[in-house]
Amino acid sequence: MCMKRILIVTEIFHPENGLVNDFALELVRRGYQVEVLTQHPSYPYGKIFDGYTNDYYSVQTWEGITIHRFKTVEGYRESKIRKILKYWTFVRIGKKIARKIGGNYDHVLVYQTGPLTLALPAVALKKKYGTPLTIWTFDIWPDAVYAYGFPKVFPLTSFLNHIIRKVYRNSDNILVSSRKFADVIDPYVPGRKIDYAPNWLISEPKEPATLQLSPDTFHFTFAGNISVSQNLGNVLSGWKRAELQNADLNIVGEGSALDRLKRQVLEQNIPNVRFHGRYPSCQIDDILRQSDVLVLPLISDPGIQKTEPFKLQSYLQAGKPIFGVLDGAAHEIIEENRLGLCASPDNPTDIAQKFAEIRKQVAQDTYRDIDQRAHRLLDTRFNKETTLAKIFCLIDPEQKTCKS
């Protein structure tokens, strides 16, 4: 039985939701000794979860995993300054804790869904102890920084380039969750191999939803985190122009942009928009399957459009047509695999036209072909076992399966 020690450095971890939880459990199932370095749980609400205290440092266990938790900054949901302080705190305290817990790890993996700076404690560990380091990138810098409204000016550009070079040049392996990320990283590490390791669909129990959509109405549904990057403001503008009869636009979830969207609906008198709030993840699949078309929007930003959103996998599992209000990576996946239609994210007129067009298509066609293509994509490109095998061969190349 393999007892290699793996340290995962991550901004989020159980009880916060994320693919990293499923990945860590897979490591444990396969005989690895897993530890996690992270802050006390606060995402997405910006405050420490009930049952936890914001201590400087504490150690907990979950499902056989040792979790090293350290102090975080609360209130970052409403304040950009506090968000920057949170990132700075992660680096400052994270480095100290990383050096303290030592050099007895066989491998360190950075699960980077937030700022690239969260990899710096892992870089410090590698420099002190020579521990092999893998970074798994889900949020591409510098594009993501500019997407949050920071100006593309000196000295910020110089600082970002320094961080990016430092992290990737100190990484033994580079994994990306979107194929388009490789083009951004390559200039910082010319000639380096960059492996594609996309999201997979997390298997979890499914329950009937307490939300039941009317079977007599045509339902467009968005489900997930409601932030500015989701571009739902433009979706609402297009929806109003479409003037569809006997159709609802369902928005399921919570997030920082929710209140703004509710104001937009009231001020612009937009009809047939239903805000349903947040539902347990185990009920989302049922809500999606009750819907006729699933809405997948993103803002028109170079960094955001390069992502392959995790929401896409849950939409594929539901097997319903997808209306993408976006450009870039997800747009290509939808159109290349004939999963639905896409509209320009900045053009409410085009969004309105495509709302009407996809409704007509759904009325004329069956769902069966789209359902089959969606599940074929889950079984191939987004296959969990294929992605895991690739990662395990990088962090543990002595495995028999990696040598064969």
pLDDT in tens, 330-355: 999 999 999 999 999 999 999 999 99
> pLDDT of 184-196, one tens digit each?
999 999 999 999 9
> pLDDT of 245-269, one tens digit each?
999 999 999 988 999 999 999 999 9
Which residues are CB-neighbours of 231 under 8 A, at least 6 positions away? 297, 298, 299, 300, 325, 326, 345
Split at pLDDT 50, 70, 90, the class of 322 is very high
- The reported pLDDT for the residue numbered 364 is 64
Q: Tell the burial category of 16 from Cβ atoms under 10 Å away from its Cβ (0-12, 13-18, 19+).
A: middle
- Whether this model's pTM surpasses 0.85: yes
90-121 residues labelled b (16+ CB within 10 A) or e (exposed): bbebbbebbeebeeebbbbbbbbbbbbbbbbb
Say whether pLDDT at 227 is over 50. Answer: yes
Q: What are phi and psi of 310, to 5 degrees?
A: -60, -30
- The reported pLDDT for the residue numbered 404 is 54
Which residues are CB-neighbours of 144 under 8 A, at least 6 positions away? 115, 303, 304
Measured from the Cβ of residue 2, the count of other Cβ atoms closer than 10 Å reads 12
Higher confidence at residue 112 or residue 228?
112
- The reported pLDDT for the residue numbered 1 is 47
- The reported pLDDT for the residue numbered 403 is 63
